[in-house]
Structure 1
Amino acid sequence: MPKKILILGGGVGGVVAAKRIAERIRGRVDAEITIVSDTDYYLLPPLLVNIALGDIEPSKAQLPLSMLERRGVKFVKAKVTKIDPDNRVVETDQGKFNYDYLLASLGVDFDFQSYNLGVGYHNYTLDGALKLRDALRSFSGGKVIIFTPEPIYRCGVYPFEFAAQLDTVFRKRGIRDRVDITLIHPFEKPIQPLGPEAVKITEEVYAKKGIKYIGSIKPDKVDDKEKTVILANGEKYKYDLLIVVPPARLPKPFEGTPLITDTPTGKWTAIDVYTGRSLKYDDVYLPGEHSMPYIGLPTAGVPVHFTALASATVIAGELLGEPIEPAQINAMTCAMDYGDLGMMFNCDVKLDLTGNKAAWVGSCYSILTSPLGRLIKDLFYKTWLATTM
């Protein structure tokens, strides 16, 4: 009987893992690799910004997951509804799947219900990016607010980038003098986790561009009738265009399972920092954004990418009977587009295997501050997409 390797999620973690396992075991192990996703395409999330800004069409940001079949990976379009690790079963709207190894990388759910965020625009889904694109095209002036109510959300640098990018877009359209841009965020200072150098650069950029930053906030709600963002201290900020950054939440298929644990930042899946393996099940790996807060990493593609590679390496090694030490993340490079300026920061990552944490805050430093940084970021994403499958 072939070993059944079931991969949940057609995002960066699932695709990277499927590709790595298939490469390592093909022709050497009798195994079936199946990837399950509720969409039939892989979408590179950072390019949703480019879609919202009208730089590219959606087709330039996605690839069909069926392309993995040429590597011997079966693709099934289905929505995962329940994970039962005790019985090695995953339920979907297209039936049940059994497995010998499970690798789940389901991203995070976006919470638009809290704080009444659903009334704002966003670019966290393809549909959301297209609606934001239309709203920006028809916007002719007024108060723009980017509202980030909680500190854990997908891609930590996004709101800081987007504020600066909007400044550039409105200048090119000749309406910047009719637009106020305000970023409301929980961090005391902009982009604070990347350290004082990043804060200083960003504050200088915002001062030059006339972007207002309101930090250390505790949110209350959005009153769309009054077009106002209300903070817990009673402060109110009027808007004509509201762009929201939804908090990240645990994906629903994990709810009620032994795979999760309570943390100070919410419920997340618990993994080994080195391998991405579940702390409770040796046959389950969880290299997704839903695990990153547990081990101290940001909910972003780079740490998911490396953790998925580590998980895939361990699975392939066990199947081959050749255990291999995984090469887990030791640095994160963050490329930022500030509209007319590019920044690149590197953060050294130290794995504390005893404490099961990855430490990176306080170890970030600039490696480039130049318009060239924007080009490097653009080339990186396009190259990554072109070589994914």
Structure 2
Amino acid sequence: MSQAPAAKKLLILGAGVGGLSVIKEIAEFDSAAAILDKIDITIVDEDFSHFLGFTLPWVMRGWRAPDSVPIRPTEAALNRVNRVTGRVSSIDPQRQQVTLDDDTTLEFDALILATGARNAVDRVPGLADAVAKGVAVHYYDHDAAAEAHRALSGFTGGRLMFLVTSPVYRCPVAPYEGAMLAADLLEATGARAATEITAYTPEVQPMPSAGPYAGVELVEFLRQRGISFHAEHQVVAVDAARRVVTFDNGAEAGFDLLMFIPPHRPAVTIGDEDWISVDTATMATRHPGIYAIGDTTTVTTPWGRSLPKAAAFARNGAVSAARSALHYLGIVDRTEELSGQGYCYLDTGAGASSRGAGDFFAEPPEIHLSSPTAELNRQKSDEEHQWRALWETERPVLR
């Protein structure tokens, strides 16, 4: 009697929105049960804790405690998935092998990278010194967001600068959402009238990948809240002693408190690659059997802009990568192209949110921001509740 063929090894690196969405996508296949008999799924993560990026400004505003933000999948939710806790050290595409920091090696037949991006504060001269001296803060992890809340809560007035340090960063609305929520908080503490709030970015306008309209509408939101916007200002250095930011166009701007969006770097790379380029038809990298999704990738849209590093596109990428990996393994008969349909909520303060949605692959996109409402704010909260409920549960996602 012949033996059944050995299960193919599907390795997923990263248990954040992208990696978990791959598992969710496989669970939603019509033939999921038959597929699971043919593959052995392993997922690797440093601590099996992630968060939705839009919850961090809530911590900065003081609406959420930092320990309420992490989402930790239960063992039951990840039933039929091998969990490996560790940090990726290297990927060998030829040997089809991943090595972790503790020298553990994991082999794969197909690999999906969903490892995201890391903050890299030290890439701007003087920025780490400003953080150490307590004159600069950011809100791009939950502990930092809590520190930003403390700094804003104690701010009594002066120059409050929001600074985008690089055009490549997660969540394209977060700098401007942060500025509006800071204004909202300072209204509550009584310091808003004594505070000048400015926003500086190297971009031509906010959200350039969303097309010609949304960024203009966002600048108007800022203007209505008394926040001045300065485009095409790329920081080259921060002087903590003088509390001055220097830009590549020779301009300088002073601050009393600097709120910055950190430079970003890919958390995991393959060889000497930087942000990983992928084929939008399959999410394939240049290495056979290896796919990448989410914030670790760079995707150029048909009209020449980079696709935003946002959760919506990590989910879209998971749909494409899951099908592509299973097709590569000979388990499904078709692939699916990356969808350009995306959306983003934008908190504007006073319990209201705006929303922009549309096709980011259009030439150009015709995305507009809606008027802020309390209902959109509730929808944004519901999105987190639904995602959390899917993974912090005793109900298996794969059955």
**Per the shorter chain, which TM-score range?**
0.7 to 0.9
Deviation at 1:327, TM superposition (A): 5.9
Q: Is the 8 A contact 1:310 1:327 kept in 2?
A: yes
Give the one of 379, 382, 387 matched to 2:382: 379
Give the one of 140, 146, 165 matched to 2:156: 140
C-alpha distance in 1, partners of 2:118/2:81?
26
Q: Could you tell me which residue of structure 1 aligns to residue 219 of structure 2?
A: 203
Deviation at 1:136, TM superposition (A): 2.1
Deviation at 1:291, TM superposition (A): 1.4
- Report the count of equivalent residues: 371
Give the one of 5, 11, 17 matched to 1:6: 11
Q: Could you tell me which residue of structure 1 aligns to residue 308 of structure 2?
A: 298
Q: Could you tell me which residue of structure 2 aligns to residue 353 of structure 1?
A: none
Deviation at 1:3, TM superposition (A): 1.8
1:284-313 per-residue CA deviation (whole Å, 9 max, x = no partner) reads 111131213456311121111111121112
Q: Could you tell me which residue of structure 1 aligns to residue 119 of structure 2?
A: 110
Q: Is the 8 A contact 1:269 1:294 kept in 2?
A: no
Q: Does 1:335 align with 2:345?
A: yes
Q: Is the 8 A contact 1:165 1:337 kept in 2?
A: yes
Q: Which amino acid aligns with 2:17?
A: V
Give the one of 368, 380, 388 matched to 1:365: 368
C-alpha distance in 1, partners of 2:340/2:15?
25
Deviation at 1:191, TM superposition (A): 4.0
Q: Is the 8 A contact 2:109 2:329 kept in 1?
A: no
Q: Is the 8 A contact 1:144 1:240 kept in 2?
A: yes
Deviation at 1:27, TM superposition (A): 5.3
Q: Does 1:270 align with 2:259?
A: no
Deviation at 1:369, TM superposition (A): 4.1
Q: Which amino acid aligns with 1:148?
A: V
Deviation at 1:374, TM superposition (A): 2.3
C-alpha distance in 2, partners of 1:77/1:320?
29
C-alpha distance in 2, partners of 1:27/1:93?
34
Deviation at 1:377, TM superposition (A): 2.0
Distance 1:293 1:70, change over 3 A: closer
Q: Tell me how large the CA RMSD over aligned residues is.
A: 2.4
Distance 1:64 1:334, change over 3 A: closer
Q: Could you tell me which residue of structure 1 aligns to residue 63 of structure 2?
A: 55
Per the alignment, in what secondary structure is the counterpart of residue 225 of structure 1? coil
Distance 1:370 1:239, change over 3 A: same
Deviation at 1:61, TM superposition (A): 2.2
C-alpha distance in 2, partners of 1:31/1:346?
36
Q: Is the 8 A contact 1:80 1:253 kept in 2?
A: no
Higher relative contact order (CA 8 A, sep 6+): 2
Is there any run of 5+ residues in structure 1 with no aligned partner, and where?
261-266, 351-358
Deviation at 1:200, TM superposition (A): 4.0
C-alpha distance in 2, partners of 1:172/1:79?
42
Deviation at 1:213, TM superposition (A): 1.2
Q: Structure 1 or 2: larger strand share?
A: 1
Is there any run of 5+ residues in structure 2 with no aligned partner, and where?
1-5, 393-399
Deviation at 1:388, TM superposition (A): 4.5
Deviation at 1:184, TM superposition (A): 0.7
Give the one of 156, 177, 192 matched to 2:193: 177
Distance 1:67 1:189, change over 3 A: same
Distance 1:360 1:111, change over 3 A: farther
Distance 1:45 1:215, change over 3 A: same
Q: Does 1:308 align with 2:321?
A: no
Give the one of 218, 233, 237 matched to 1:217: 233
Give the one of 347, 358, 370 matched to 1:347: 358
C-alpha distance in 2, partners of 1:316/1:293?
22
Q: Does 1:122 align with 2:128?
A: no
TM-score, normalising length from structure 2? 0.85
C-alpha distance in 1, partners of 2:389/2:179?
28
Q: Could you tell me which residue of structure 2 aligns to residue 91 of structure 1?
A: 99
